[in-house]
């Protein structure tokens, strides 16, 4: 079976090389238009060309903006590709009995060290509350994939907490692990701004994002959905209201055969 991860990896690799060429070429174009670089100035002089005027022409005809737009679009595409690779690299492993609380802790650790996240909002400012029911049965799952699931949700929570409505309320994420008859249940809850019903309904759609270009790709939660529902036959849901934080609830069956 061609897994979602395999497909994503194939596409990502195929797109990566031409994309890198485009971005590199753009950089060269920009450099060679720079009137201050001696090599450019030399050639321009030979041709009797005023590079300052060339720059001015480009500004007036909007070419500089187009070049900037091309660069931004390229960077955005590169980010989507790297998200796809991040997902696929970690999938395809064997299922083994796992303790979800341990995987959750690993994901928190991963988020605390995430460079990208630190640039937007340092995860370590957030209070993490753990409500773990002890001595739970292990769950048959693919640990690395589940780590990615929890990481994606935690990253969203941290990003959302940056925009919490009342800055005097300390940012908080509550993690819960508890048993049900057939499932292990994990909850990840934040006290951020929450979301409208329209947004809530769409969060698991691929490429759905409310974030700025370059910040969000809209892939995080679709990856979550695939890993949980497709690969683990579990379920994921979100409860939220504007101003009321968000709570993601993941259910994984203890055993997919039983
Ligand atoms: N904890 C949260 N609080 C508020 N909104 C959230 C939260 N998690 C996800 N969202 C919403 O779901 C959207 C989709 O999330 P995701 O698939 O991870 O893509 P991205 O983070 O790239 O936007 C986000 O853009 C945001 O609007
Ligand atoms: Mg996200």
Which H, E and C letters describe 144-198, residue by residue? HHHHHHHHHHHHHHHHHHCCCCCCCCCCEEEEEEEECCCEEEEEEEECCCCCCHH
Ligand 1 centroid distance, CA of 161 (Å): 11
CATH 3.30.565.10 matches 96-253: yes
**What number does the ligand 1 atom closest to the CA of 223 have?**
17
CA 204 – ligand 2 centroid, Å: 10
List the residue whose alpha carbon is closest to atom 27 of ligand 1: 210
pLDDT tier for residue 258 given thresholds of 50, 70 and 90: very low
Task: Average the pLDDT over 116-124 and give the result.
Answer: 78
Residue nearest to atom 2 of ligand 1 (CA): 157
Q: What pLDDT, on a 0 to 100 scale, did the predictor assign at position 16?
A: 83
CB atoms within 10 A of CB 141: 25
Ligand found nearest the CA of 173: 1
* 203 C-alpha to ligand 1 centroid (Å): 6
Mutate to test the pocket of ligand 1, among 162, 165, 209 (most ligand atoms within 8 A of CB): 209
* pLDDT tens digits, one per residue of 44-71: 999 999 999 999 999 999 999 999 999 9
CA of 96 to the centre of ligand 1 (A): 29
Does residue 1 register a pLDDT over 70?
A: no
- What number of other Cβ atoms are within 10 A of residue 206's Cβ? 12
Torsion over CA of 217, 100, 248 and 191, rounded to 10 degrees?
-100
**What pLDDT is stored for residue 89 in this prediction?**
53
Q: What is the Cα–Cα distance from 133 to 251, expressed in whole angstroms?
A: 15
Strands of the sheet containing 172-179, edge to edge, are 127-132, 172-179, 183-190, 246-253, 235-240
Percentage above 70 pLDDT, the chain: 91
Ligand that comes closest to the CA of residue 206: 1
Give the per-residue pLDDT at 41: 95
Among 175, 105, 176, 103, smallest CA distance to 138 is for 103
Residues present in the chain in total: 258
Quote the CA–CA distance of 24 and 218 in Å, as a whole number. Answer: 26
- Cα(164) to centroid(ligand 2), Å: 16
Mean pLDDT of 14-19: 86
Residue nearest atom 11 of ligand 1, based on CA coordinates: 203
pLDDT in the model for residue 87 = 58
**Which of the pair, 215 or 241, is modelled with greater confidence?**
241
Which residues form the pocket of ligand 1, taking CB atoms under 6 Å from any ligand atom?
Answer: 152, 156-157, 160, 190, 192, 194-195, 199, 203, 208-211, 216-222, 246
- DSSP assigned state of 216: B
Pairing of strands 139-141, 96-98: antiparallel
CB distance 221 to 203 below 8 Å: yes
């Amino acid at each position: 079976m061609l897994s979602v991860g395999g497909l994503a990896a194939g596409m990502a690799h195929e797109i990566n090389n031409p994309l890198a060429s485009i971005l590199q070429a753009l950089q060269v174009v920009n450099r060679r238009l720079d009137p201050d670089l001696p090599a450019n100035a030399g050639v321009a002089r030979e041709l009797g060309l005023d590079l300052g005027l060339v720059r001015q022409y480009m500004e007036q005809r909007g070419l500089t903006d187009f070049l900037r737009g091309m660069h931004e679009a390229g960077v955005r595409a590169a980010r989507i590709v790297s998200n796809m690779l991040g997902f696929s690299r970690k999938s395809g492993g064997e299922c083994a009995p796992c303790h979800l609380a341990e995987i959750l802790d690993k994901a928190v650790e991963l988020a605390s060290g995430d460079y990208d996240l630190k640039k937007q909002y340092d995860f370590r400012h957030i209070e993490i509350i753990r409500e773990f029911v002890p001595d739970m049965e292990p769950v048959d799952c693919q640990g690395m994939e589940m780590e990615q699931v929890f990481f994606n949700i935690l990253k969203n929570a941290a990003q959302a907490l940056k925009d919490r409505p009342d800055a005097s309320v300390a940012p908080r994420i509550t993690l819960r692990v508890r048993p049900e008859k057939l499932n292990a249940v994990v909850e990840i809850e934040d006290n951020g701004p929450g979301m409208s019903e329209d947004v809530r309904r769409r969060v698991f759609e691929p490429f759905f994002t409310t974030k700025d270009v370059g910040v969000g790709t809209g892939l995080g939660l679709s990856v979550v959905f695939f890993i949980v529902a497709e690969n683990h036959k579990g379920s994921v849901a979100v409860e939220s209201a504007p101003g009321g934080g968000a709570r993601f609830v993941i259910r994984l069956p203890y055993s997919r055969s039983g």
